[in-house]
Structure 1
Amino acid sequence: MTDGMGLSPTPPQLQYFEERAAAPVTLIGQGMEGAVYDLGDGLAGKIWFERSVSEVRPLQAFLGELSQQGLPFRTPEIVVVDDIGGRAVSIEKKLTGTPLQQALENGAVSRQQGTELFVDIVTALETTTAGPAAAALPLLGGVEPAAGEWGMRLAELVRQRALGSSEYLTKDVDGFDELLGKVLAGLAAVQPDKPQIVHGDLCTPNILVGDRQVALLDWGFFTTAGDNTFDAATAAGFFDMYGPEARVIDDLLFDRFEGLGHSRERMHLYRAAYAICTATIYSPTGADGHYTWCVENLKREDLRAAL
């Protein structure tokens, strides 16, 4: 059996799922980190592309911690983690619904409803208190930030990631070295009142909508204990990254979040930090649309003026 989306046949993993499934195993979809299968009876199985069992178990612990936060939307819960044929596999409670991106495209959800949902999710995450499992998660595929407070940890992550991207960013972003220095200094000075749970990848494919139910998926890529304003800063740009009205929606959400108490200067600081951290995360040579998006953010006059 193959998934039809680029994953090679993996009979041991699929057999493992079939032995535990209440219905025929069918592919639900594939993301950056793995392929997900419907196992029936409210369960889903995931074959992880890169993460080992030792890397998935901290995520399992975090999701357990997350479930105790009383959030007004559903979140994943990993029931089992195992190593089958040299690959990590997990069985999770299945979250149902339509991806917000699809609901926006087919008109089931209006743009205004979608942006308000983004605001509601960020606002709900502001009520969280991050525990040790959140702080222990590795970022961006395994980068271990330095120990310490949120601002210092994020600054160290930016510094590490900039080393791998500077060849391209110094060429494409005028004054990049000076910009990087300002970002590192700004982050080192940030001291949030309390550590909150940061999702770090609030985008329309990661939100499921249904009849009076919402679910937030794909924790772990940039999930950590930090500052809720980071989610505000990045979510504003993620709602529509590449569409013709991307900047209009970005500005609209920045205004909404600023009205709710998020510092515009800090949102710009976090947007710059995210752009530097992820510029070459998908293409090591910067040959993709995400790199272009990051570069365009680092060139923004309002962002640079805020640093």
Structure 2
Amino acid sequence: MDVVSDAVSAIRIGRPSSNRVRVGGNWCTRLTPYDGAGFHVVLEGSCWLLPDGGSPVSLGAGDVVLLPHGTGHVIANAPADAATVSQAVPFEQWLAGNGPHRPRAAARDVEMLCGKYRLDRSRIHPLMAELPKVVHLPNRVGAHVELRAAVDLLGHELGTQRPGACIAVPSLLDLLLVYMIRSWAAQGSGTWPTVLGDPVTAAALRALHSDLAAPWTNERLAAEAGVSRATLARRFTTLVGRPPMAYLTWWRLTFAATLLRDTPYPLATIARRVGYSTPYALSHAFSREFGTTPGQYRASTAERSTSV
């Protein structure tokens, strides 16, 4: 695994959902705050996104926008004042009248992919926490090639009813999320894009995430990164915000929580996978970090997932 893959896997739960929508004329719809992440892809035409407490964002054909913290927002055919926004049609109601089989009304119609991901924010990686309220990825020639390809494939799958679509669409949505985060990181603004762009820190993180159970020490990790122990400690701590071994302990326990939530593995198996010698050692560290035992944590996450 790598940092981005692990950061997404740790918080993603359930299956993502999406809808292909075509709408024309004057329209305005509201999506309430959501305990997950939302996204919109404009396939044709243009529209506006008005996030709660944020500035309006103009979206054109090919633009992708991610709302990683589930911020409530309005999407509309034009900039809207407060009175218009307050009368926006709830999204589910609006969607019912603007599904994929709506006839083409005019050349100025807007066609979009609208979707959302369910996320567990109880143990979020700082990379995901750093994402801004709105990640706008404009359609620029030559930019975000993989993202463009994923959008094209997803739009095609949602526009047809081909065999295997029930597997293809969720997989493409997962791929879309990774590509949106990767495209944001490539823009280079923020702490974690800097972390992933630093060769020493990136090499250390790649080593830790690829073999979490290894008996890591500062010396061994420094050798993997090709620098001295002092250089690694200084650069890693400055960029990541905690020393390498402290990050390793935190991520081992966070990943253990993910395995408790998502798998039926016994505690002994999980302990081996995250680098603890015995279930007791993991349980002690887990309780100290999370304030609950692994068994209680597993039971509570199972209860939450069935109630959603």
TM interval, shorter chain, is under 0.3
Structure (1 or 2) with the larger CA radius of gyration: 2
Bigger relative contact order, structure 1 or 2 (CA pairs below 8 A, ≥6 apart): 2
Alignment TM-score, normalising by the size of structure 2: 0.24
